[in-house]
Amino acid sequence: MRLLCSSFRNLQSQFSQPLEDLPREFKPPEKLLYLTPNLEILLCEEYINFKHRGQHSQHMSEGLSPDSQGSASSFKERILVHCDLDAFFAAVEILHHNLDPEKPLIIGSDPQGGRGRGIVSTCNYAARAFGIHSAMPVSEAWRRCPGHPFGPGHYIRGSRGLYSRASRKVMSILKEPAEFFEKASIDEAYLDITEHVGGDWDVAYALCRTLQTTIEQKVGLTASFGIAPTRILAKMSSEVNKPKGIFRILPDEIAEFFEGRSLRDVPGIGPKRATQLAEWGFVTVDEAYVLGELALGRMAGERFAHWLTCVVDGTTSSEVSQLRSRKSIGKERTFSSDQTDHEAVLDVLRSLTHRVLKRSKEMGISGRLAEVKIRYTGFETHTHGRSIPVAMDEPDVFLRLAEHLFATNVQHNRGLRLVGFRLGQLDMPPTRQAMLLLQEEE
Ligand code: DCP
Ligand code: MG
């Protein structure tokens, strides 16, 4: 067996031990002690299946459905909040460099005196007055508002580290009152606060005001909030009173909200679709909606018509879950010089795997896929993955898989530039769902 060669002595001892907490019926007989790692992993899978079956039957015996996070709630409507920070990168830079917020600030690629070929990441509201916005070519931004010495524009390349730190602080404030929390991007999050506010929309409004003040006092940034019964409506309402605004759409006010509102304002309707609809004479959402799903479907396609109808009826998703915005959780390490000691690299991989699983536990997420990334000297990169039958968040299981994937795939005698671990095929751990449902029952 290649794995049991001398350079992997640690592995040998790990793989030749039985799983200590195996239930009695799965205790491997003595002769299995020296099975290949592959077979031992198969045994491990059987154990996982067994455990999962155990948890599943527990759910059922308690009369709880394992797949619906909100089913035990007494509230028909969910109260969702969407929070989006105002001119995020620019606001962080203003804070960090103590800049005058009234002067136009543009974050993006180097404008090179108007010849720059990159784009604008964002800009503050003073720069927006010049018609500058995210994703605009930086040369165009310069034309509208030149930088020193030709004009008042202040151009900064930006520093990701600063934004991540500020984002983390904001997210930890937002997370606190949310039963379900989802960081949707570096500056936006969804919260389900239904139970926390006792289903009361006024309490929800007051809570958002408190969160807004806390973020401003503790982090120095302003945020806008949208409160509504579905994700898409919450997102749209956080835009309404930007910056530093709060806007609420009550369940029976949705139709009113869409009266005269441009179709282009609905996330998911891009410029192409909006132009096509405008050619048929529909500019606002209510104009398209009154046509009815059937007639609209004949023109714009059934799927689109059904979706738009659901948006206005308030029946699109109200699920808030980290899984919606995340495909995987991973960490990797680039070595300052290429490593030839694979044993040392394996130690790094173990530590990365631990950290990923710690993070997934914190987020209440489990996964089915273990993926190890190896980059060799010269940048050649390989990923090696393996799935287990059910999603888990137990570090030991993934540690074994990571070790196995590394040991069986790494090309010997080659220098390593990077190693990484990724947890994929994410899911909610059944244990956590059960806990949440039980808490709601109390
Ligand atoms: N961003 C980027 N490139 C884009 C869009 C955004 O790099 N094309 C970055 C910069 C923004 C951040 O993401 O600060 C958040 O994006 P938003 O769309 O929320 O924009 P802002 O927060 O800057 O402005 P707003 O006040 O409209 O939310
Ligand atoms: Mg923003």
pLDDT by residue (tens digit) across 119-148? 999 999 999 999 999 999 999 999 999 999
Containing 154, the helix (H) or strand (E) segment is strand 154-156
Please count the other Cβ atoms lying within 10 Å of the Cβ belonging to residue 172.
Answer: 11
The span from the CA of 240 to the CA of 135, in Å, is 21
Residue 321 scores a pLDDT above 70: yes
pLDDT at 238: 98
**Domain 163-250 fold:** Alpha-Beta Plaits (3.30.70)
Give distance in angstroms: CA of 296 to centre of ligand 2: 33
Residues with CB under 6 A from ligand 1: 84-89, 121-122, 134-135, 186-187, 242-243
Mention every residue, 6+ apart, whose C-beta is less than 8 A from residue 284: 258, 259, 260, 261, 262, 263
Q: Which CATH entry fits the domain spanning 255-313: 3.30.70.330, 3.10.20.30, 3.40.50.280, 1.10.150.20?
A: 1.10.150.20
The span from the CA of 263 to the CA of 185, in Å, is 24
Residue 293 scores a pLDDT above 60: yes
pLDDT-derived band at 73 (thresholds 50, 70, 90) equals low
Atom of ligand 1 nearest to the CA of 187: 15
Q: Looking at the domain that runs over 322-433, which CATH code has it been given?
A: 3.30.1490.100
CB 389, CB 45: distance < 8 Å: yes
Between these two residues, 14 and 253, which has the higher pLDDT value?
253
For range 267-291, the mean pLDDT: 95
Residue 79 scores a pLDDT above 80: yes
Give distance in angstroms: CA of 252 to centre of ligand 2: 27
pLDDT at 12: 37
Q: Which of 75, 1, 8 is nearest to 349 (CA)?
A: 8
pLDDT tens digits, one per residue of 198-241: 999 999 999 999 999 999 999 999 999 999 999 999 999 999 99
For range 377-399, the mean pLDDT: 92
Point out the ligand nearest to the CA of residue 240. Answer: 1
pLDDT at 432: 43
Point out the ligand nearest to the CA of residue 125. Answer: 1
Give the single-character DSSP code of 228: E
- Best residue among 187, 188, 222, 247 to mutate for probing ligand 1's pocket (most ligand atoms within 8 Å of CB) is 187
Domain ranges within the chain, ordered by starting residue = 2-63, 88-160, 163-250, 255-313, 322-433
Give distance in angstroms: CA of 234 to centre of ligand 1: 18
Is the bond into 149 cis (omega within 30 degrees of 0)? yes
Q: Which two tokens stand for residue 277?
A: 């609809």
Give distance in angstroms: CA of 134 to centre of ligand 1: 6
pLDDT-derived band at 352 (thresholds 50, 70, 90) equals very high
Phi-psi region of 240 (alpha: psi -120 to 50; beta: other; left: phi over 0): alpha
Residue 336: burial class (beta carbons within 10 Å; 0-12, 13-18, 19+):
exposed
Atom of ligand 1 nearest to the CA of 86: 26
For range 144-156, the mean pLDDT: 97
Atom of ligand 1 nearest to the CA of 243: 26
Which residue puts its alpha carbon closest to atom 24 of ligand 1?
87
pLDDT at 429: 58
* pTM for this predicted structure: 0.73
**Domain 88-160 fold:** MutS, DNA mismatch repair protein, domain I (3.40.1170)
For range 360-384, the mean pLDDT: 92
pLDDT at 177: 95
Is residue 188 annotated as part of the catalytic site, yes or no?
yes
pLDDT at 220: 98
pLDDT-derived band at 324 (thresholds 50, 70, 90) equals confident
Per-range mean pLDDT, top range of 49-53, 256-260, 357-361:
256-260
Residue 307 scores a pLDDT above 50: yes
pLDDT-derived band at 428 (thresholds 50, 70, 90) equals confident
Q: Which of 103, 105, 109 is nearest to 137 (CA)?
A: 109
Residue 20 scores a pLDDT above 80: no
For range 404-431, the mean pLDDT: 89
The mean pLDDT of the chain is 84
In this predicted structure, which of 62-66, 108-112, 150-154 has the lowest mean pLDDT? Answer: 62-66
For range 101-118, the mean pLDDT: 95
CB 367, CB 423: distance < 8 Å: yes
